[in-house]
Chain A
Amino acid sequence: MTKVGVLRFPGTNCDRDVFSWVEARGFEAEYLWHLDLFEEKKYDLLVVPGGFSYGDYLRSGALAALSPAMKSLRRFASAGGPVLGICNGFQILCESHLLPGALVKNEGRRFVDDWSELEVVNENSKFGAQFKKGQHLKLPIAHGDGRFYAPADELKKIYDQNQVWLRYVNNHNGSLGGIAGIMNEKKNVAALMPHPERAIYPWMGGQDGWGFL
């Protein structure tokens, strides 16, 4: 059975939601504690969920990037293992330099919660493989530091290498290029600001998130 590791930092608050989603998909879920190195070969896939790891002290994601569990995650990723980051998980992966760019304060300088329409810019074979280029999806967003930023040369590289995964149709936070999700060069590490785990059943208001795992 596919085994999914869900990372847990102090302050992570979407861990339980992601755990339930993984189980609902029929996979085996296991929490991975921030202070512990883990045996990366035991897992088929890793998720870094959202929240406020280490209380967003210093910068969102900055302290989590230095934790022992992230060392193991790096090894997993460099061996080509699939890693999905969501919201604060996206911030952590950027701070860990597993993904390019950074997430800074929303342009309006406020936390924003809403439903957001997204466009699939490039397909990803590991996460949401069924979503086709140009397809529109509806997912909830909830973040204060969600504005994607990268210096011009890095941004150009991101576009040149087709690393943009998702784009906001209405760019609510001032992200460069409206970027809502990106991938690394090898496409095995991918992350997005919206929350797929909060849109997996019709009663949640939408179920486009179901297929992201």
Chain B
Amino acid sequence: MSLDFQQKLKHYRISESEYQKICELLGREPRSVEWALFSALWSEHCSYKSSRAHLKKFAQTINPTVLNAAGENAGVVDLGFGERIAFKMESHNHPSFIEPYQGAATGVGGILRDIFTMGARPVAIADYLCFGETEAARMPALMDGVVRGISGYGNCVGVPTVTGQTNFDSSYNQNILVNAMAVGLFRPNDRIALSSAKGVGNLVVYVGAKTGKDGVHGAAMASESFDENSEAKKPNVQIGDPYFEKLLIESCLQVIQEGLVVSIQDMGAAGLTSSSFEMASKGQVGLDLHLDQVPLRDSSMTPEEILLSESQERMLLICEPSKLEKIKAHFSRWGLDASPIGTVQSERRVRLYWKTELLTELDPDLLVENAPIYQREFKAWSFPRKKEKIQKVKSKNLPNHLMEALESSDHASRKPIYRQYDQRVGAMTAQGSDHDLAILRLPDSGRGLAVAVGCRPSLMKVDAYLGALDAVIYPSLQMAVKGAKACAVTDCLNFGNPEKPEIMSEFVASVEAITEASKILHAPVISGNVSFYNETKGVNITSTPATGLIGIRQDVERIPSDLFENEGDSVFCLSFQAVQVGLSEREFSGQLNLEKVAGFQKVLMSLGSSGLLKASQMVGFGGLGLALAKMSLKGVGFESDLSWSEDDWSEDQLYRALLVTDRVQDFELLLERELQAAGIEEDCEFHELGLTGGSQLKLGSWVQISVEHLKSQHQNGLKNYFEGV
């Protein structure tokens, strides 16, 4: 093979075996733009070639509440009362590491388009971020850039960022994770738009921002590991404009709700290529596309660049010719172009024209359906129990342990981050990022829509299967203690190099675990995203299957607080005993019994919605003492005279809830009844810890710290990284 040929393969990121397959499918060698088409659509990012075989398992979680599971941009879950939710989470890890502001901003923009392209109005954004150690190279700048990017984009489009999670760990030092989730609402009479091209003779219409050279080869870039030349990839990062996105949201929702479009799809990864070929493939039709008709920002662009551009804020829609004028009028009212660039054909061929020249003619299925599927090598999960430190705090002495933890990047207040995000635009926010659980009020039924993200990387390090179970279970329990029931799950599976069996084994175990946890909690997995090759110079990130959950609460009244509110309330701890965790290293005893976990969730839901709780909180890693300290941060202290050891106050367990009430008898009666009904009396331990009140945190003879002191410690941990906030 010639050197030129090898370089071409490298340039288009096509392997030799893939090249052979392309030749077989075409019956000849690929020509001109066909190289670019295969490069884009067969990239890991677009084709899911390493994960597809495993992701099928999620189908087991689907139940009748799911309106459309497969094939669309996001699944839709029916909450009753005509209210339906579309939601999805996506990664923008590679671009964010190269250029944090634009990478994060366009991550938000892209996931929003996935939602409103279906006809749902975006009502909430959540983020899931993993940074390296704060002292790692470039890290303060990356943190600042990512947060500013999310803030700059989300605030301007007018969608509140209501919750999130930020982790810090050395395994992300050279590959940060930026995952964004968007939640969209269909109100009772809203239409759901689909993305399959239909109707021979219908028009293919390009709407939104003009096409530029930004993001060319972005999808292929996102499917590679990083090396020393990552900086050179800057031109592959897209540039976003939230103002255009806002105009696009309003105009697209308008034409969808007025029934003017047959189908619509956003131009995301691999831009026009993926949207056109996927729409044609799904609709089992062909398309004639005239690339010279695409509105351009830069008239020197070649057909190949037009096909691969990932310019933001663009959509492709199919409409009947008679509707075109109305559609154009709607878009022009919002100052946007709507340009017909092609037609739907009966013969299943996508024909790409440049002026009068036919560049190529391809069966869309060759690119979409016939993409290679790899059976990457993996091992069945054998539950290796790695001894990993969960708590990074060094101090054993309890007061020092608490003070150190409160200021640490793991536990310090996230306010310097979320204070930069609009929490309330849309006027649906009952609880935003300043609460443990985000809750929006649904305008038609008045019910609460809970939004949460999950996945604790420290647990993933210990046991990927358990960590992935926990990624679904923990946010479900966080919902439960506030009286909300988890209804559906999306995921964003961030992993290293899938060609390495140990990484692939963790991936497969994670998919299985998420499937099992979702099944048992009756919370179907309705959408998802995979991000592989989170690897830099051979170092892989901690496998991080981030999840996003939505849940329902019957109303938005009497939601238990996160903090101690009153003096003299009784504080109880309910712990689920199945899995024990040691102080600094995991010492497992037994597997999680999922049926019993589901029972535990039910018990917490009953308590959380009973109106008996003044406050409630799931106890995260860091121990009970730390959880109690966090609950005191409003200013109401706590005192326990239990004669527990220092270890008792600081050791970790997987699932414990702190429950605060002033109606002890009613509470205990209800608890007993619910534990019995769930059949988990034997699996739970129950302690009365003490009473709220005073201005100090007092834990036996060990701790006596003023709440003000705890507060300033907690507030300051991350503040320096976001100067001026």
Contact = CB atoms under 8 A, between A and B. Distances in A.
Interface stretch (B415-423, B449-457, B507-515): B415-423
A111 B424 contact: no
Nearest to A55: B243
Contacts of B421: 111, 113
A50 B156 CA distance: 10
A11 interface: yes
Contact of B429 (A50, A55, A144, A204): A204
A108 B724 contact: yes
B119 to A, nearest CB: 17
Nearest to B723: A108
Contacts of B441: 203
Nearest to B430: A203
A interface, size bucket: 20 to 34
Given A10-B247, A13-B158, A51-B158, A110 B556 contact: no
A150 B155 CA distance: 27
A52 B425 CA distance: 12
Nearest to B724: A108
A54 interface: yes
A57 interface: yes
Interface string B423-434: 111110111000
B425 A17 contact: yes
**Which 5 pairs from chain A and chain B are nearest by CB?**
A13-B158, A55-B243, A108-B724, A17-B427, A198-B424
Interface of A: 10-11, 13-14, 16-17, 20-21, 50-52, 54-57, 106-114, 140, 142, 144, 195, 197-198, 200, 203-205
A55 B242 contact: yes
A13 B426 CA distance: 8
A52 B724 CA distance: 22
B388 interface: no
A154 to B, nearest CB: 26
B425 A111 contact: no
A109 B724 contact: yes
A114 B422 CA distance: 8
B159 to A, nearest CB: 8
Contacts of A113: 418-424
Contacts, number: 94
Nearest to B335: A10
A31 B699 CA distance: 58
B403 interface: no
Nearest to B422: A142
B241 interface: yes
B334 interface: yes
11 contacts: A17-B427, A20-B427, A52-B246, A57-B243, A109-B724, A110-B420, A110-B725, A111-B420, A113-B418, A113-B421, A204-B424
B207 to A, nearest CB: 15
B106 interface: no
A110 B335 CA distance: 29
A56 B420 CA distance: 17
Contact of B419 (A52, A107, A112): A112
Contact of B155 (A17, A54, A57, A142): A142
Contacts of B247: 10-11
Contact of B423 (A10, A16, A51, A142): A142
A49 to B, nearest CB: 10
Nearest to B431: A205
B557 interface: yes
Given A10-B243, A11-B243, 19 more contacts: A10-B246, A11-B247, A14-B425, A16-B427, A52-B246, A54-B243, A55-B242, A109-B724, A111-B421, A112-B420, A112-B725, A113-B418, A113-B421, A113-B423, A140-B423, A198-B425, A198-B429, A203-B557, A204-B427
A89 to B, nearest CB: 14
Contacts of A56: 156, 243
A108 B144 CA distance: 14
Contact of B158 (A14, A20, A106, A107): A14
A142 B243 contact: no
A108 B158 contact: no
A6 to B, nearest CB: 13
B126 interface: no
A195 B151 CA distance: 18
Contacts of B418: 113
Nearest to A54: B243
A166 to B, nearest CB: 18
Contacts of B425: 13-14, 17, 50, 142, 198
B724 A195 contact: no
Nearest to B250: A10
Nearest to B426: A17
A55 B432 CA distance: 25
B156 A52 contact: yes
Contacts of B430: 203-205
Contact of A114 (B155, B243, B419, B427): B419
Contacts of A204: 424, 427, 429-430
A98 to B, nearest CB: 24
Contact of A203 (B158, B556, B725): B556
Contact of B427 (A11, A57, A111, A198): A198
A13 B148 CA distance: 19
A200 B431 CA distance: 14
A94 B528 CA distance: 46
B220 to A, nearest CB: 31
B722 interface: yes
Given A11-B156, A113-B419, A113-B422, A108 B243 contact: no
Contacts of B422: 111, 113, 142
Contacts of A50: 425
Nearest to A144: B155
- Of B152, B243, B425, most A-chain CB atoms within 10 Å: B425
Contacts of A203: 430, 441, 556-557
B22 interface: no
Contacts of A195: 424
Interface string B17-31: 000000000000000
Nearest to B156: A52
A107 to B, nearest CB: 7
Contacts of A16: 426-427
Interface string B118-160: 0000000000000000000000000000001001100111100
A94 to B, nearest CB: 20
A110 B423 contact: no
Contacts of B241: 55
Nearest to B423: A113
B1 to A, nearest CB: 50
A142 B424 contact: yes
Nearest to B159: A13
Contacts of A20: 427
A27 to B, nearest CB: 16
Nearest to A33: B333
Contacts of A205: 430-431
Nearest to A202: B557
Interface in B264-292: none
Interface in B153-211: 155-158
Contacts of A114: 419
B13 to A, nearest CB: 35
A113 to B, nearest CB: 5
A198 B424 CA distance: 7
A112 B246 CA distance: 20
A110 B155 CA distance: 12
Nearest to B241: A55
A11 B249 CA distance: 11
B679 to A, nearest CB: 35
A142 B243 CA distance: 17
A13 to B, nearest CB: 3
Contacts of A54: 243
A106 B421 CA distance: 15
B565 to A, nearest CB: 14
Contacts of B420: 110-113
